[in-house]
């Protein structure tokens, strides 16, 4: 765990993807009272309900599984907010059927990769002009998973996107290390969200996950290992065979 610059999250302009449920919703709830929060999510009732619950937020409807929407989305955000302090790439989906299962969907592969990874790379690039500014500190924070370190048997594409996010975050951090933009990631254990309903045990709450993410951002932590991810890191170092066996059927 390392830190380069701190950022008090008060009076900031913050972009959050996937803010209508789970961790994203909790981030919106915690950050919107003292910041300008821009939420990117699929257009529809959930985004409309979020706006009604938090009237101060600004919403941008887009389907991040469709790369053809990225340019127009970014143009709209930059037109309204030429300066952004923080981009939180949070939106994600996990399809659980395996390749040999009857209910596996071929179309789900591109959908999952685009939403979980292509959108992260694309928005980090397209919104970068609003983050770059020698006079202030800004951050890109990628919400990752312990499965980006060690995969499980189910959800192979999801694990791959999270592994890719891990390496992307490190490489982009190298590219921007001489700029004002800190690139970091928060690696989460199993969190109680709509995506994980009926799966696993010992989950942390989405609210606690959001609190930990915010604390890491404010301290300028580059790699925020949350909860049981600390144990994954330890076992990777001392008994990699054991953590692979534990997570394989996790």
Q: Which is it for strands 58-61 and 204-205: parallel, antiparallel or unpaired?
A: unpaired
Instruction: Name, in order, each residue with C-beta under 8 angstroms of 162's C-beta and a sequence gap of 6 or more.
Output: 116, 144, 145, 147, 148
In the chain, the DSSP E strands lie at 13-17, 36-41, 58-61, 86-89, 138-145, 181-188, 191-192, 204-205, 223-225
β-pairing verdict for 58-61 and 181-188? unpaired
Catalytic residues: 158
First to last CA, the chain: 25
Q: Which two tokens stand for residue 48?
A: 């409309």
């Amino acid at each position: 765990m390392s830190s380069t610059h701190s950022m008090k999250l008060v009076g900031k302009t913050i972009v959050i993807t996937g803010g209508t449920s789970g961790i994203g919703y909790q981030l919106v709830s915690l950050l919107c009272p003292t910041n300008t929060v821009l939420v990117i999510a699929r257009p529809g009732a959930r985004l409309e309900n979020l706006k009604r619950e938090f009237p101060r937020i600004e919403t941008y409807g887009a389907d991040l599984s469709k790369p053809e929407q990225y340019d127009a989305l970014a143009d709209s955000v930059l037109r309204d907010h030429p300066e952004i302090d923080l981009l939180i790439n949070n939106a994600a989906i996990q399809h659980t059927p395996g390749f040999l299962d009857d209910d596996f969907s071929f179309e789900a592969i591109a959908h999952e990769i685009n939403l979980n990874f292509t959108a992260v790379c694309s928005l980090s690039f397209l919104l970068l002009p609003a983050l770059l500014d020698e006079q202030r500190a800004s951050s890109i924070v990628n919400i990752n998973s312990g499965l980006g370190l060690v995969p499980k048997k189910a959800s192979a594409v999801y694990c791959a996107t999270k592994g890719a996010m891990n390496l992307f975050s490190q490489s982009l951090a190298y590219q921007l290390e001489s700029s004002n933009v800190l690139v970091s990631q928060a690696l989460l254990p199993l969190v109680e969200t709509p995506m994980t309903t009926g799966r696993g045990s010992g989950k942390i709450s989405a609210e606690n996950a959001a609190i930990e993410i915010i604390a890491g951002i404010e301290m300028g932590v580059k790699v925020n290992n949350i909860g049981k991810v600390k144990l994954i890191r330890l076992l990777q170092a001392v008994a990699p065979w054991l953590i692979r066996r534990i997570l394989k059927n996790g």
